[in-house]
Chain A
C-alpha cells in the first residue's frame, strides 16, 4: 500500500485537489465519556473513498463529539479512527495533515483579510510562502471570493464568511474533509453555492463527512447517511436503504421522507 501521507502532504504541485488521494475513513468503536456522562457510545462506521457521508442527529446526539474525536481534537475514551492507513490515535499529527475541518462556527480572524486568514492557516499546515499564495488564490477562486481577497472578513456577509470558512479547511489539500453544519444561517443563494462547492470537492476525489440538521441537504449530497441519537448510531445506510426501512411500516412521501424518518427514529421531544 502506498504512503498516503507523503502523497497528500508533499506540495510539489499547486493544482487544486488534483494530487489528493481518495482515502477510506473507518471509525472504530468510538467511545467518549465526560465524568459519568457517556456522550458517544461505541460508534462505528466507514466512509468510502471519495464519497459524502451524512451524519444526522438532533442537538446533543453526540455528532460534534464524534467529529472532535475523529479529527484528533478530543482523545477518545475508547476506539480509534483510521484515515487510510493512519491511526488518528497513534499518529495524530500525521493524521491531522490529511484532515480538513469546516467548523460549525465561523472560525476565522475577522479583523484580517480573507487572504491573510488563508495564508496564516497555510503556514500552520507547513506550506511554503510560494505555495501559500498560490493555494490561497486558488481556493479563493474556487469559492468565488478572489476579488474580495484583500477585504477584512468582518465586512463579508454571513454566506461569504461560510465560504471562506470552507476555503481555510481546503488550503492544505486534505484527503478527508469534515463539515459540521456548514450552511447554518446562510441565504438560499449562498447555500446553493456551498452545495456546488462540496460536490466539486467530492468529484475531485475528497472523502467528505457532512453533518446537518437539514434533511434535504443530506438527501441531495450524501451517498451514505447515519442517524445518531443519545450517543449511538440508530440507523445507517444509503438514502434508499433508510427510506426502505420506514417504507416497510408505512407509506412515506418522498420529498419529506428523510425528515419523517428522522422524527420517527429520534422522537418529537425537544432537545437542548
Chain B
C-alpha cells in the first residue's frame, strides 16, 4: 500500500508542477462554465419570472381597447409584461422588427363600435385586433401575449352579444299578455351597454386563478452547465493521466520501476490512485466553485458526493483501459478525443439529457457521461434523493470495474526487447 501511495504522490507532485495541467484541470473548465452558463441564460439564474415587452398602439376609445391595455398590465412573481405604447401603428411593427418588443398589439380606432354593431346585427366579427411577431417565431412569450389579447376580445365579444340578447329578452317579456311596459322606458342602447359593460368587468375580474402544484422547473442554467462541463473535463483529464503512463514507458521510468522490488500491480495501482484523486479533486473544486458562485441547487449531498466518487472511479478505469489499448501518446490523443466528445455529446454534458430522443438517452449509457449526468440531473434539476440515483452510482462503479478488468487483461507491462 505504501508503494501505491509513493507512486501516486509522485504523479500528483508532477501535476502540481505542471502549469498547463493545472490550467486544463481547473481554470479552463471554470472559465468555460461561466461563459456557457451566462450565455444560456445564467443572468436570469435563480428567477422564475418570465419577462415580456409588448408594443401597443390603442386607437380605440371604447371598452375593448381599454380592456386589452388593462389586461396587459401584469407584474407578478411569474410574469411581468412591460407595455410600450405608441400612437402610430407603424411604430409598433417597427419595435417588433427591431427586437425592442417580443410582440406588438394594434387596436384600430372604432374597434369597440364595430364590435357593437356586429353584435346588434348578429354578424360575425373577424380580425378586430392585430398581434405582431417576427416571422416563424417560436418564442413562447408571443403565444402568451396572443392568448391574453384573444381572451379579452372573446370576453368582450361575448359581452356584446349578451347585451343584445338581454334587449331581446326584455322586449319579449314586455310583449307578453298581462305585462305592461312603457315603450319609452326601454332604452335598447343603455341596456346593451350596461349588460356588455358588466360582462366585460366580470370577465376582467373573474380571471382564472393561476395556482401551482409541485416544483417549478429550475431555470438556473448552471445546474446543468456546471455538472455537464465538470464531467466533460473530467473525461478529458483521461488524456493527461493516461499520457503519464505512456510517457513513463517512453522515457524508461516505467521499466525502471518494474526493475525495482515492487509488485507490478502496485505500480499500476499507484497510477490509478493518482488519477482517481486528481479527477475527484477536479470535480470537487468545480462543484464547490459552482455552488458558491452560481448557487447550484443540490437536493442530496450524499447522492452528489457518491456520484462524483463513482464518476472519478469510472473515469480512472476508462483511462487505464485506453492506455492498455494504445501504444503511444500520439495514438492516445485521437482515441481520448473521440471517446470523450462522442460520449459527452450524447451523455448530456452539453445539454440536458431530456432534450434527447429516448433512443439516444438509452444509447448515452455506453459512456460515463450518460450515467453521471442522469444522476446529477436528478439531484440538481429534479430534486431527487440518494435512493433515486443509486442505479447511476452502481452503474458508474460497474463501468469502472469492467474497464479495469479489461485493462488488466490487455495492459502490457513489458515491451519486447530485441
Interface members, chain B 385-418 (any A CB < 8 Å): 414, 416-418
Please tell me if B14 contacts chain A, counting CB pairs below 8 Å.
Answer: yes
Bound Cα distance A66, B40 (Å)? 63
Interface members, chain B 2-23 (any A CB < 8 Å): 2-3, 6-7, 10, 13-14, 17-18
Bound Cα distance A152, B18 (Å)? 12
B263 to chain A, nearest CB (A): 8
Minimal Cβ-Cβ distance residue in A for B255: A73
Please tell me if A208 contacts chain B, counting CB pairs below 8 Å.
Answer: no
Choose among A37, A106, A121 the residue with the greatest number of B CB atoms under 10 Å from its CB: A121
A71-B259, A73-B259, A74-B414 known; A105 and B14 CB under 8 Å? no
Please tell me if A90 contacts chain B, counting CB pairs below 8 Å.
Answer: no
Question: In the complex, what residues of B have CB within 8 A of residue A109's CB?
Answer: 10, 14, 253
Q: Which among A94-102, A195-203, A240-248, A253-261 touches the partner chain? A: A94-102
Bound Cα distance A99, B256 (Å)? 12
B417 touches A125 (CB 8 A): no
Q: Which of B3, B259, B261, B417 contacts A65 (CB 8 A)?
A: B417
Q: Which of A73, A104, A112 contacts B17 (CB 8 A)?
A: A112
Question: In the complex, what residues of B have CB within 8 A of residue A111's CB?
Answer: 14, 17-18
Minimal Cβ-Cβ distance residue in B for A72: B259
Question: In the complex, what residues of A have CB within 8 A of residue B260's CB?
Answer: 96, 121, 124-125
B251 to chain A, nearest CB (A): 6
Question: In the complex, what residues of B have CB within 8 A of residue A97's CB?
Answer: 261
Please tell me if B258 contacts chain A, counting CB pairs below 8 Å.
Answer: yes
| Interface 0/1 of B253-269, CB less than 8 Å to A | 10111111110000000
Question: In the complex, what residues of B have CB within 8 A of residue A101's CB?
Answer: 256, 259
Question: In the complex, what residues of B have CB within 8 A of residue A123's CB?
Answer: 2-3, 6
Question: In the complex, what residues of B have CB within 8 A of residue A103's CB?
Answer: 252, 255-256
Question: In the complex, what residues of B have CB within 8 A of residue A62's CB?
Answer: 418
Q: How many residues of A contact B (CB 8 A)?
A: 38
B418 touches A39 (CB 8 A): yes
| Interface 0/1 of A149-163, CB less than 8 Å to B | 000100000000000
Question: In the complex, what residues of B have CB within 8 A of residue A74's CB?
Answer: 414, 417
Bound Cα distance A72, B413 (Å)? 13
Please tell me if A68 contacts chain B, counting CB pairs below 8 Å.
Answer: yes
Please tell me if A93 contacts chain B, counting CB pairs below 8 Å.
Answer: yes
Please tell me if A116 contacts chain B, counting CB pairs below 8 Å.
Answer: yes
Question: In the complex, what residues of B have CB within 8 A of residue A121's CB?
Answer: 256, 260
A93 touches B261 (CB 8 A): yes
A105 touches B416 (CB 8 A): no
B418 touches A60 (CB 8 A): yes
Q: Which of B3, B13, B17, B18 contacts A124 (CB 8 A)?
A: B3
B255 touches A107 (CB 8 A): yes
Question: In the complex, what residues of B have CB within 8 A of residue A265's CB?
Answer: none
B259 touches A120 (CB 8 A): no
A106 touches B252 (CB 8 A): yes
Bound Cα distance A229, B252 (Å)? 25
Minimal Cβ-Cβ distance residue in B for A95: B261
Q: How many residues of B contact A (CB 8 A)?
A: 24
Question: In the complex, what residues of A have CB within 8 A of residue B2's CB?
Answer: 123
> Helix, strand, loop or mixed for chain B's interface?
helix
A107 touches B252 (CB 8 A): yes
Bound Cα distance A72, B256 (Å)? 11
Question: In the complex, what residues of A have CB within 8 A of residue B10's CB?
Answer: 109, 112, 116, 120
B251 touches A105 (CB 8 A): yes
Please tell me if A108 contacts chain B, counting CB pairs below 8 Å.
Answer: yes
Q: Which of B7, B253, B258 contacts A73 (CB 8 A)?
A: B258
A108 touches B253 (CB 8 A): yes
Bound Cα distance A110, B7 (Å)? 16
Please tell me if A204 contacts chain B, counting CB pairs below 8 Å.
Answer: no
Question: In the complex, what residues of A have CB within 8 A of residue B414's CB?
Answer: 73-74
Interface members, chain B 230-263 (any A CB < 8 Å): 251-253, 255-262
B257 touches A124 (CB 8 A): yes
Q: Which of A71, A105, A120 contacts B252 (CB 8 A)?
A: A105
Bound Cα distance A111, B244 (Å)? 12
Minimal Cβ-Cβ distance residue in B for A104: B252
Question: In the complex, what residues of A have CB within 8 A of residue B256's CB?
Answer: 101, 103, 107, 121, 168
Question: In the complex, what residues of A have CB within 8 A of residue B258's CB?
Answer: 73
Minimal Cβ-Cβ distance residue in B for A120: B10
Minimal Cβ-Cβ distance residue in B for A65: B417
Minimal Cβ-Cβ distance residue in B for A123: B6
Minimal Cβ-Cβ distance residue in A for B2: A123
Interface members, chain A 207-259 (any B CB < 8 Å): none
Bound Cα distance A99, B14 (Å)? 27
| Interface 0/1 of A59-70, CB less than 8 Å to B | 010101100100
Bound Cα distance A9, B2 (Å)? 18
Bound Cα distance A57, B241 (Å)? 38
Minimal Cβ-Cβ distance residue in A for B3: A124
Question: In the complex, what residues of A have CB within 8 A of residue B261's CB?
Answer: 92-94, 96-97, 125-126
Q: Which of A68, A72, A105, A112 contacts B13 (CB 8 A)?
A: A112
B416 touches A34 (CB 8 A): yes
Bound Cα distance A64, B10 (Å)? 28
Top 6 nearest A-B pairs by Cβ distance?
A: A107-B252, A96-B261, A105-B252, A123-B6, A107-B256, A93-B261
B: residues with CB less than 8 A from A are: 2-3, 6-7, 10, 13-14, 17-18, 251-253, 255-262, 414, 416-418
Q: Could you write out 27 A-B pairs with CB less than 8 Å apart?
A: A37-B418, A39-B417, A60-B418, A62-B418, A64-B418, A71-B259, A92-B261, A93-B261, A93-B262, A94-B261, A96-B260, A97-B261, A99-B259, A103-B255, A104-B252, A106-B251, A106-B252, A107-B251, A107-B252, A107-B255, A109-B10, A111-B18, A112-B10, A112-B13, A112-B14, A116-B10, A124-B3
